[in-house]
Amino acid sequence: MPGSGKSLLSSILKERGYTVIVMGDSVRKRFEKEARHGERLMDYAKRLREIYGEGIVARLSIEELRGREERVVFDGVRNLAEVDEFSRLGKPVIVAVHAPPALRYERLKKRMRADDSLREEDLRRRDLEEIALGVGGVIALADVMVVNDSTEEEFRKRALEALGKIT
Amino acid sequence: MPGSGKSLLSSILKERGYTVIVMGDSVRKRFEKEARHGERLMDYAKRLREIYGEGIVARLSIEELRGREERVVFDGVRNLAEVDEFSRLGKPVIVAVHAPPALRYERLKKRMRADDSLREEDLRRRDLEEIALGVGGVIALADVMVVNDSTEEEFRKRALEALGKIT
Ligand SMILES: Nc1ncnc2c1ncn2[C@@H]1O[C@H](COP(=O)(O)O)[C@@H](O)[C@H]1O
């Protein structure tokens, strides 16, 4: 979920030698070429899913692999169909990062200090949009849950502990 | 999710003085009176939702209160509409209990030792059925996440820690 600390986890894994594919970037690349006038990234992604199926973004991300990577992180899974796509490559390990909404909203507000329009209800609406995509199912079935409700240092500690369980 | 340790959390909270309403029991009571021949509890609950709306089970559970309880646990929230129903009574705190699927399946198999038919794929199907009800969204938006991936003793410790954050 937005503000949970998912990207921080990716960067920790990157430091440890994982290849990180940010799924949002895979969508963004196509979006820049194909978006309709005024279309939001989120709506473009929904349109892609309607045309090519629920797993499309995973397939776009898989296309970015060179085929020689051994340990890959796909950052930004949104539904279980994407997990099925990754399962064709080998057994994926789903890692979820959780933080309480109140804390996520606080972090998001801090991050975008300039943006006054970042109201609680907009953040809530964005959360519900993510959930409508199916991300809740992915979180519910996570193999590893890292809870990021404390300091960044504590999160690093928990992330590395979780990493120990994976490898 | 089934086998996560949700009921254990309820009983810990009960020991601490909370009134616990098991939402499944609220459904079951009506189910016993109104079920169609051969209907499964889950399908009955789905039918109730179609007729009375997504929040119906929460409303049935709220009806069981005497109105004098101060601290109430509703065990078994399945979707965000139910959370909205509880919000009418006061600000609810969503507590999710997470365990990795592999561990949940192991626990469920142990619990129902007699039942040979409890295969991995049936457990998986049941998980997906819970997710279709919307439980993933509730988990994603939990205010407190208790991870039950270790011993029962450790779970108790984490649960009480989490409880400290609530009260
Ligand atoms: N909030 C709910 N809405 C619909 N059905 C429920 C709910 N809570 C429990 N149930 C039903 O009761 C069964 C047992 O619930 P539980 O004890 O929470 O695992 C579930 O598999 C559902 O069929």
Q: What is the dihedral of CA A45, A47, A51, A57, to 10 degrees?
A: 0
Q: Is the CB of B24 under 6 A from ligand 1?
A: yes
Distance CA A165, CA A162 (A): 5
Residue ranges and CATH numbers for the domains of chain A are 6-166 (3.40.50.300)
Handedness of CA B48, B54, B56, B57 (dihedral sign): positive
What are the chain A neighbours of B142 within 8 Å (beta carbons)? Answer: 98, 100
Regions in chain B scoring below 50 on pLDDT = none
Which ligand 1 atom sits nearest the alpha carbon of residue B40?
Answer: 23
Contact call for residues A77 and A58 (beta carbons, < 8 A): yes
Task: Look at A11 and A67; give whichever has higher pLDDT.
Answer: A11
Supply the ipTM of this predicted assembly.
0.93
| Residue that wins the pLDDT comparison between A92 and A114 | A92
Give yes or no for residue B3 CB within 6 A of ligand 1: no
Task: Return the percentage of chain A with pLDDT > 70, whole number.
Answer: 96
pLDDT band, residue A14 (cuts 50/70/90) = very high
| B154/A71 Cα distance (integer angstroms) | 31
Report pLDDT for A163: 83
pLDDT at residue A63 is higher than 70: yes
Task: Name chain A contacts of B149, Cβ cutoff 8 Å.
Answer: 145
Question: What are the CB-based long-range contacts (under 8 Å, 24+) for B45-53?
Answer: B46/B133, B53/B81
Contact B40/B126 with Cβ under 8 angstroms? no
Contact present, B3 and B104 (Cβ < 8 Å): yes
Q: Whose CA is nearest to atom 10 of ligand 1?
A: B24
CA–CA distance, A140 with B79 (Å, rounded to integer): 13
What's the pLDDT score for residue A117?
59
pLDDT at A162: 86
The pLDDT value given to residue B114: 53
Average pLDDT, chain A: 93
Write the residue in B139, B143, B144 that is nearest to A140 by C-beta: B139
- Average confidence (pLDDT) over A81-90: 97
Integer Cα distance of A48 and B54 in angstroms: 29
Instruction: Evaluate whether B130 touches B78 at the Cβ level (below 8 Å).
Output: yes
Please tell me which residue, A33 or A162, carries the higher pLDDT value: A33
Which H/E stretch holds residue B73? Answer: strand B72-75
In this prediction, residue B113 carries a pLDDT of: 62
Q: Are A144 and A165 in contact (CB under 8 A)?
A: yes
A133, amino acid identity:
L
Cβ atoms of B108 and B3 within 8 Å: the answer is yes
pLDDT at B162: 86
Residue A114 has pLDDT above 80, yes or no: no
If you search the block for the tokens 């899974």, which residue do you land on? A77
Contact: A100, B127; criterion CB under 8 Å: no
B149 touches chain A (CB under 8 A): yes
Residue whose structure tokens are 């003085």: B17
The whole-number pLDDT of residue A113 equals 63
Beta bridge partners of B75: B22
Tell me the pLDDT tens digit for each residue of A123-166.
Answer: 999 999 999 999 999 999 999 999 999 999 999 999 999 888 87
Q: Give me the residues paired with residue B147 across strands.
A: B98
Sign of CA dihedral A65, A71, A76, A77: positive
Token representation of residue A157: 């500690």
Give pLDDT tens digits for B120-155. 899 999 999 999 999 999 999 999 999 999 999 999
